[in-house]
Amino acid sequence: MNSHSKSCSAILLASTKCIGIIVCSFLMTASNVRAAEPHIRRITPAGLSSGQSRSISLIGERLSDVTGILFYDQRLKASEFKVTDDKNITFEVAADPSLNNDLYAFRLISKTGLSNMRLLGVNKFPSVVEVEPNSDFESPQVIELQQTIDGTVRNEDVDYFAVELEAGQTLSVELEGLRHASDQNFFDPSLAILDANRFEVASNDDATLLRQDCLCSFQALQAGRYIIEVRESSYGGNDDCLYRLHVSNQTRPVTMIPAGGKPGELLQATLIDDLGNSWQEEFQLPDSPTESFSVWSNRNGVQSPSPNYLRVVELENYVEAEPNGDMKSVAPVSVIPAAFQGVLQEENDEDFFAFSAKKDQRFEIQSVTRSAVRSPADTVLNIFKLNGNHLAGNDDNKGPDSFLDFKAPEDGDYAIRVRDHLGRGGIDFVYRVELNAKSPSVQTDIAEQSRYQSQQIVVPQGARTAIEVKVNRRNIGGDAMVNLEGLPAGLSAEAVLCPADRSSVPIVIRSSSDTALSATLASIRTVITQGDTSITGPLRQRTQLIRAQNNVDVWGFDCNQVAVAATEAAPFDIEVIQPGVPLVRDGTMNLKVKLHRKEGFDGQVRLRLVYNTPGMSANGSIRIEKDVTETEIPITANGNATLGVWAMSLLAWTSIDRGDIKLSSEPFTIEIADRIFDFAFNKAMGEVGKPIDVLVGVKQKRVLEGTTEIELVGLPPGTTCDASKVVFDPTAEQVVYRLNVPADAKPGSFKTLNCRGTITSDAGVITQTNGTGEVQIDVPLVAAPAAPAPTASPEPAAPKVLTRLEQLRAMRESN
Amino acid sequence: MLQRNLFARSAFTLLGCLSLSIGLSVQSTIKAEQPTDQGKWQSIQIYPPSILLTGKTDIQHVIAVATRSDGITRNITDEVRWDADADELFELKDAVVKPLKDGSTMLHANWHGLAANAKLEIADCNSVPSVSFVNDIVPILTKAGCNTGSCHGAARGKDGFRISLFGYDPRGDYERITREIGVRRINLAIPENSLLLLKATGSVPHTGGKKIEVGSDHYQTLLKWLVDGAMVDTGELPTVTKVDLYPKQIVLEGENQKQPLVAVATYSNGLTRDLTDLATFGTNNDRSAAVDARGTIEAGVRGEAFVMARFDVHTVGSQVLTLPASLTYEPITSPKNYIDQHVANKLGKLRISASKLCTDEEFLRRCYIDIVGLLPDPAVVDSFLADQSENKRSELIDVLLSRKEFSEIWASKWAQILMIKSSNDVSYKAAFLYNKWLTNKIAEEVPIDQIVQDMLTSSGGVFDNPATNFFEVERDRLKLSENTAQVFMGIRTQCAQCHNHPFDRWTMDDYYGFVAFFAQIGRKQGEDYRQNVVFNSNGGETKHPVGDQVVKPKFLGGATPTVGPGQDRREVLAKWLTSDENPYFSLSIANRVWAHFTGAGIVEPVDDFRVSNPASNPELLDELAAKLRSYKYDFKQLVRDICNSDTYQRSTMPSVDNADDLRNYSHALPRRIPAESLLDCICSATNTKEKFRGLPLGAKATQIADGSTSNYFLTTFGRSPRTTVCECEASTDPSLSQALHLINGNSVSGKISQGKLINTWIDSGLNDDQVIEQIYIRCFTRKPTADELERLKKVVSDAPNRVVGLEDLFWATLNSREFLFNH
């Protein structure tokens, strides 16, 4: 995972008053322009100072009907919107002084939807804008310590900043670059500190704590001018490569130990900076478990430019006590589950921890060293019988981190060995390994309706939309009740049940016709109850901010809330006629759809189901063209489609000014039922010029109301059947079709025959199609001699039609 | 255990020998007339210097060679008087020693008052050894050419019969001869009728014709093996540990002079073998020294040749110089340093005079281009020429060596052979960081051996530790080992992947033993998806394709080290590779450095150290390598030695008798400036900046990190595409495209207008003479001669206007050979 969860408590659209102002602003400037799906490409500058307000410009697409900003932290407020045109807007942002140095997510709110997510930096240092030209080492931009510089690395650009240092003074520089990029603009910055003679005194490309962003510090031995060099790591860059450079006289911690604690605990931690210095600080941990909890060092009153992360879980904390480089020197800990922490101090350092377990006791042993703590250590875990054999090991089951599902083979003591995969070590090589019993958990995610775009909930007035909520159960089964909470006034959604045998469920969110335009963040609470046990799980949604080559997820934002917006009414509505009959395995069905156009709307509307059930598929590219109001969507179920009644909804959208307005139908159900017919094909043979009888064994497994017909399809080329569709008596066992084979029919073996069974009733048509039957058409070996003139005789009774097998048996008996 | 069957000769030969040798003693012969230059002959030698005969059938050819005070050698085998302390032990006839009795004695040669001795030992004189397939039959097949690539040694054999190339798989050969297609190829009932013999002697139709004479020694040996039942070898066989070829150095005066060679193999059991009839002899210069199948050299035109003998997996050679009779030359009398001394020695042997030293202007330009890849600024030219101090050349060298461009030039050269290039496996960032790492290491004067060790033992992410890209640019372990050998040792082992090297010592065992060092390299994806992590996986083996057995790591040309479990094999390799135990590392580096400054490696190509491709001046190369080692691989000091030598500072103008010399450094070689430096020189001459992908404006071409970054100019002028480790990838060969690009392309005319130098000069009030002088100084590092100036002024005055005339002149200057070449 490439980002940290944010506990995004409630949202905030600045305030109600603020919204009013924003909307008003929009109405005055662009009242005749409509757009949807606003998109932010560039934010200039990329942040501001806490306790201050700053004018921010946005460049993007479809911005003309933007009405406000949905900040994921209510301590940021926006005002004074100016929509210049479809691609440019400016506004004033005020950052509350209580905001910590961090990145804060936001989306634009428009009348028709929500924009992509972007991050705004907030830092306690005063902000200074980069002034070009500063690409010459000899003429750098002079800056002060304790400043944040907002700059841009253009193509093959190098920016130089000069600071004056006294002897012994520390310079610590952190660069936010990657963290401000988005889309597929992979900005990988590089940082160096040079002395006046161009010699590098410190440099950094990728800091593990900051991923591709960088951090470097040094202590000046001599007073003088020092130059900070900023560039893309391989001289790339473009106008969208914005950065914020934090220049400080205080180093920041790159890691801390212990790397986590229990909820509610006041944690005393040792912090270690990138120069190898360490000091102590206390952190109040939250009351609820948090995978990666942000904390800030306040060394000498200077807050770190960005947070460090602590793991907050209900585990007993154990910090290594040297010597522990040998199994023999460690004793089992007194309490498990437990979290083991330590530092791989030197090259090839190995640390051991011991615990006791009963036979067949199962544990999940995982390192959260990189994922949660962002330590440079690439841990390898090995489990031994204490002072005995090696039992299991893992390096990278969870990315660079290790994971083991361990079952104790016998009662006794066991040892966990922790080491770095490359045998590296250092004061910052902190690790945290958690030994936990397997415990149940549930969390949800929302399926993306556009690839790589985290799903938002946008509901037009008087209509509805549908999302597919994925329910991820771990070590637990059973029905899950999924509840969407925190919707703004006017929007509603009913809690839905995700049955035990299903991993996703659709939720329909409705908007009344008088819902005010608004946006907020909602959450999803999922509850699984089994007997007396009830567990609750949150939403965990990841928004990919940077996708690299092959859509690799490089940087993103994890949140437990989803953005919701109530938007203007859509110019249409959609209705699905509830099917009256089931869709059977190997069957097809046409879903009838009605489009209700509002006056003046004659656009094309595209349709697709919110999801496909297992084994079912529906045409996802059906369109209702201009002036058409009805259509049918073909749906098929394969032979293994999962049976049951499935809640469903149909998504419909139209494009307005290059953006899409989307809504959904009222929910309906699709029942997937088992096959009704069993068809048995017998191979049929004959000669050109003569009719061939095709015998199909039919077994109707259930008797349903309506007319049953069995149709033979897939006839060989040139052949015909006078009665290819026959009404079938459910009690019968066989249908015989007579193929007319003309003299010029193509001889050969044709494995193309299929039978289509239909049951037509007032409720609808059930259709099932199966194959495959074979018919062989031969050319006669010798022309038949002229037959003697038949003598008049009474018409014999029609002989029984024999299958090919029966014909052969008859021949053998006659011989 | 001694194995007596080693030197089998057929029983038939044995009988013949016995009947002829009974009662004969050593023959003393003085056939030739007294030499006219007798007083100058200093010494004589007997080859081989010691003789060991084992068994009745063993023989040894002997030769005697006289050496004159000026190094001339002469074959006097037929002229010396042979003598021995115990002449009853052996028979010496027609320069062949045959055993008669067991014992030990000294063999003496006397010639005009000069004498030489050789020790002679005879053992097991009465035993007749049996024939070994591996040690007797396979060498005969090799000598006869049966197992060459054009005959049955081809991958698919020839005419339905396939044996291993040069006999690298004797077990397989035995199976094919004796078992394949039933027993068609041998007839143990009537051995003489074996197809093997009938084909070899041409008795039945044979595409290869007659290869062996009926009744010859080889025929008899083959027949005896068949008569004895075509037995397979059992037990541990002795292996050839070395082959000696005598004399080591031959200097023949006058055409048609002859000199027989003596080749002796030494086996692991201590026995020796005369290879006159078994070794394959060859020469790399037929015109100067042809050699026949029995190893007799005949002098041809003046020149230098390397005559080699190949037997088993060993190839050894002797240096042969052929000179016209009564040649005079002017020796170097005051060599400046050890380089000049060795060059003087070699030129003395060849009787080649050296050219005089180059001018200050030539030196300044040459040094700048060679050391920093740029042209000197006009101000530097003025001050250097005005400087009258004696040490100004040395001082200039020191100044240039301290510039960062020196490290960039060498980083660029190493980047070529290390194939630093972005690809599907190596991201641009990785390539960029790899190049930066290399440049920084050289700039920080980290010794080359340390840099190589860092690369070979590197672990970690390709961004975190860019040296690990060494293992990313080539992931195939076979190619990786080949590249390592070629880049750091100058050895090409590619042939030995499929068969023992035909012209060198490398066997498949050597090849796969070396590959085994790279068998345990692990790779995994890093957290950054672009970053692979390279590490020692502690697992993985290499198997020999012949026999499918695991091969232990073995140093190329060295020992089989003990590698403990879990120990990084790469560390073991890196330590040995850069140690004094491995002679090739320092030789290879020294040779590459030398070639950069002189235009020709002492071993050329610089990455093809091979027995059959000897150094043109081995003593010089050895000392350069020794100096490099003594400098702790600070190659900057070696560059200082080279640039300060008279050899480097000689003029490119040849003298009367050294014009043909391209390998002995009697004069400097004019060299086309390499593509990157040439573009940088054009930019500096025209005061313009070039733009390359991924680098800021004005970056130099030598700073290009990624091999896939290029432009039309660089590609046309032979920039290395970095697709292989071969030094030859960077080409300075001329082409029509180059000429057309200089004439019509924007690299010259575009830059002249872009740089606006002509206008600047005119605006600053310079007259035509002064502008022309500026152009000359910028491009040629010299002022025009009066004659040139006169003619050029006319060109300017004939032009439509002054600016056009001067620009045309600038253009012509940049198009001249004097500009394009470092001279």
B432 has a chain A CB within 8 A of its CB: yes
In the predicted model, what is the mean pLDDT of residues A692-706?
92
Residue A19: its pLDDT value, please?
A: 33
Q: A400 contacts in B (CB within 8 Å)? A: 526-527
In the predicted model, what is the mean pLDDT of residues B17-34?
38
CB distance A422–B530 less than 8 Å? Answer: no
B459 has a chain A CB within 8 A of its CB: yes
Residue A344: C-alpha distances to residues A215, A378, A379, A523, B653 (Å): 22, 10, 10, 40, 65
Residue B334: its pLDDT value, please?
A: 87
DSSP string, B775-823: HHHHHHSSPPPHHHHHHHHHHHHHSSSHHHHHHHHHHHHHHSHHHHEE-
Question: Would you say residue B21 has pLDDT above 60?
Answer: no
**pLDDT tens column, A293-311:** 999 999 999 999 999 999 9
- Torsion sign across C-alpha atoms B644, B646, B647, B650: positive
Instruction: Looking at the complex, report in whole angstroms how far the Cα of residue B524 sits from the nearest Cα belonging to chain A.
Output: 9
State the best of A197, A201, A235 to mutate against chain B, taking most chain B CBs within 10 Å.
A235
Residue B565: C-alpha distances to residues B520, B541, B568, B669 (Å): 11, 12, 8, 52
Instruction: Looking at the complex, report in whole angstroms how far the Cα of residue A202 sits from the nearest Cα belonging to chain B.
Output: 14
B202 has a chain A CB within 8 A of its CB: no
Q: A426 contacts in B (CB within 8 Å)? A: none
- Please answer whether residues B455 and B448 qualify as being in contact, where contact means their C-beta atoms are separated by less than 8 angstroms: no
CB distance B694–A156 less than 8 Å? Answer: yes
Q: A205 contacts in B (CB within 8 Å)? A: 433, 463
More confident residue, B46 or A11: B46
B460 has a chain A CB within 8 A of its CB: yes
Highest-confidence range of A34-38, B236-240, B629-633, by mean pLDDT? B629-633
Question: Would you say residue A657 has pLDDT above 80?
Answer: no
In the predicted model, what is the mean pLDDT of residues B720-732?
86
Residue B36: its pLDDT value, please?
A: 60
Counting DSSP H helices and E strands in chain A, the numbers are 2, 68
pLDDT band at A399 (very low <50, low <70, confident <90, very high): confident
Could you give the CA distance from residue B300 to residue A181 in angstroms, rounded to a whole number? 74
Residue A797: its pLDDT value, please?
A: 61
Q: A211 contacts in B (CB within 8 Å)? A: 527-528
Residue A786: its pLDDT value, please?
A: 60
CB distance B695–A235 less than 8 Å? Answer: yes
B444 has a chain A CB within 8 A of its CB: no
Closest B-chain CA to A400: B527
Q: B533 contacts in A (CB within 8 Å)? A: 378, 421-422
Residue B519: C-alpha distances to residues A107, B475, B562, B568 (Å): 52, 11, 15, 10
In the predicted model, what is the mean pLDDT of residues A247-267?
95
CB distance B695–A156 less than 8 Å? Answer: yes
B566 has a chain A CB within 8 A of its CB: no
State the best of A136, A138, A206 to mutate against chain B, taking most chain B CBs within 10 Å.
A206
In the predicted model, what is the mean pLDDT of residues A219-234?
94
Q: A212 contacts in B (CB within 8 Å)? A: 528
Query: What dihedral do alpha carbons B730, B735, B739, B744 form, nearest 10°?
Result: -90
Question: Would you say residue A495 has pLDDT above 50?
Answer: yes
Residue B576: its pLDDT value, please?
A: 95
Could you give the CA distance from residue A39 to residue A117 in angstroms, rounded to a whole number? 9
Q: Is the peptide bond before A614 cis (omega within 30 degrees of 0)?
A: no
In the predicted model, what is the mean pLDDT of residues A447-471?
95
Point out the residue among B429, B463, B529 whose CB comes nearest to the CB of A552: B529
State the best of A422, A424, A428 to mutate against chain B, taking most chain B CBs within 10 Å.
A422
In the predicted model, what is the mean pLDDT of residues B673-700?
90
pLDDT band at A592 (very low <50, low <70, confident <90, very high): very high
Could you give the CA distance from residue A653 to residue A658 in angstroms, rounded to a whole number? 12
Residue B10: its pLDDT value, please?
A: 37
Instruction: Looking at the complex, report in whole angstroms how far the Cα of residue B460 sits from the nearest Cα belonging to chain A.
Output: 7
Q: What count of CB pairs under 8 Å joins A to B? A: 51
Question: Would you say residue A14 has pLDDT above 70?
Answer: no
CB distance A212–B528 less than 8 Å? Answer: yes
In the predicted model, what is the mean pLDDT of residues B476-505?
88
Which two tokens mark B220?
């008899």
pLDDT band at B742 (very low <50, low <70, confident <90, very high): confident
Point out the residue among B529, B694, B697 whose CB comes nearest to the CB of A234: B694
In the predicted model, what is the mean pLDDT of residues B44-60?
93
Residue B312: its pLDDT value, please?
A: 87
Average pLDDT of chain A to the nearest whole number:
90
ipTM (interface pTM): 0.80
CB distance B527–A424 less than 8 Å? Answer: no
CB distance B429–A234 less than 8 Å? Answer: yes
Strand-by-strand arrangement of the A66-71 sheet: A47-49, A118-123, A102-110, A66-71
**pLDDT tens column, B338-349:** 999 999 999 988
Instruction: Looking at the complex, report in whole angstroms how far the Cα of residue B696 sits from the nearest Cα belonging to chain A.
Output: 5
Q: B468 contacts in A (CB within 8 Å)? A: none
Q: Which of B254, B314, B315 is nearest to B284 (CA)?
A: B315
Q: B527 contacts in A (CB within 8 Å)? A: 211, 370, 399-400
Amino acid, single-letter form, for residue B315: T
Q: Locate the DSSP E strands across B90-151.
A: 90-93, 96-99, 103-111, 114-123
- Please answer whether residues B633 and B627 qualify as being in contact, where contact means their C-beta atoms are separated by less than 8 angstroms: no
**pLDDT tens column, B76-101:** 999 999 999 888 999 999 899 999 99
Residue B20: its pLDDT value, please?
A: 30
Residue B760: its pLDDT value, please?
A: 93
Question: Would you say residue B39 has pLDDT above 80?
Answer: no
Q: Locate the DSSP E strands across B292-392.
A: 296-299, 303-311, 314-323
Distance of CA B553 to the CA centre of its chain: 25
- Please answer whether residues B615 and B621 qualify as being in contact, where contact means their C-beta atoms are separated by less than 8 angstroms: yes
In the predicted model, what is the mean pLDDT of residues B12-29?
35
Burial class from Cβ neighbours inside 10 Å (0-12, 13-18, 19+) for residue B501 reads buried
Could you give the CA distance from residue A315 to residue B385 in angstroms, rounded to a whole number? 80
CB distance A400–B695 less than 8 Å? Answer: no
CB distance A233–B433 less than 8 Å? Answer: yes
What one-character DSSP code corresponds to residue B342?
H
Question: Would you say residue B272 has pLDDT above 90?
Answer: yes
- Please answer whether residues A129 and A150 qualify as being in contact, where contact means their C-beta atoms are separated by less than 8 angstroms: yes
CB distance B696–A422 less than 8 Å? Answer: no
pLDDT band at B125 (very low <50, low <70, confident <90, very high): confident
CB distance A205–B460 less than 8 Å? Answer: no
DSSP string, A18-57: HHHHHHHHHHHHHTT----S-EEEEEESSEEETT-EEEEE
Could you give the CA distance from residue A429 to residue A376 in angstroms, rounded to a whole number? 6
Residue A33: its pLDDT value, please?
A: 37
Point out the residue among A158, A206, A422 whose CB comes nearest to the CB of B460: A422
State the best of A2, A134, A156 to mutate against chain B, taking most chain B CBs within 10 Å.
A156
Residue A567: its pLDDT value, please?
A: 93
CB distance A211–B528 less than 8 Å? Answer: yes
Amino acid, single-letter form, for residue B400: L
Residue B326: its pLDDT value, please?
A: 72
In the predicted model, what is the mean pLDDT of residues A527-533?
89
Lowest mean pLDDT among A180-189, B358-367, B783-792: A180-189
B694 has a chain A CB within 8 A of its CB: yes
Q: B464 contacts in A (CB within 8 Å)? A: 206
In the predicted model, what is the mean pLDDT of residues B599-614?
90
CB distance B535–A422 less than 8 Å? Answer: yes
CB distance A235–B432 less than 8 Å? Answer: yes
**pLDDT tens column, B354-385:** 999 999 999 999 999 999 999 999 999 999 99
Average pLDDT of chain B to the nearest whole number:
89
